[in-house]
């Protein structure tokens, strides 16, 4: 009997780890944006201060959070080689 192993190649692991790091940077950016204080904004250069004074709608912030946390979860499942999140 011939056993076939369906192991992913090294390129799979490289791309999956890079994607996880990329999405982790997105999570860090979201958390920085969500929890920055007025004192921290005051310490930034003027160009960056103007970016934080722009008020985004709540749906924009919610979608940003959903996207970055969903991306991290997807990459973790990809690295775990799971086909589905929920088992019926």
pLDDT in tens, 14-50: 999 999 999 999 999 999 888 888 888 888 888 888 7
Whole-prediction pTM value? 0.73
Residue 4 clears pLDDT 70, i.e. is over it: no
Residue 68 clears pLDDT 70, i.e. is over it: yes
Residue 75 clears pLDDT 60, i.e. is over it: yes
Can you give the pLDDT at residue 14?
A: 94
Residue 50 contacts by C-beta under 8 Å, 6 or more apart in sequence?
A: none
Residue 84 clears pLDDT 90, i.e. is over it: no
């Amino acid at each position: 009997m011939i056993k076939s192993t369906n192991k992913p190649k090294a390129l799979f692991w490289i791309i999956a780890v890079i994607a996880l790091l990329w999405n982790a940077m997105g999570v860090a950016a979201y958390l920085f944006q969500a929890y920055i204080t007025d004192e921290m904004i005051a310490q930034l250069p003027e160009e960056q201060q103007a970016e934080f004074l722009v008020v985004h709608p709540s749906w924009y912030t919610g979608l940003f959070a959903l996207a970055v946390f969903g991306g991290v979860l997807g990459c973790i499942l990809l690295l775990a080689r799971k086909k589905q999140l929920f088992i019926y």
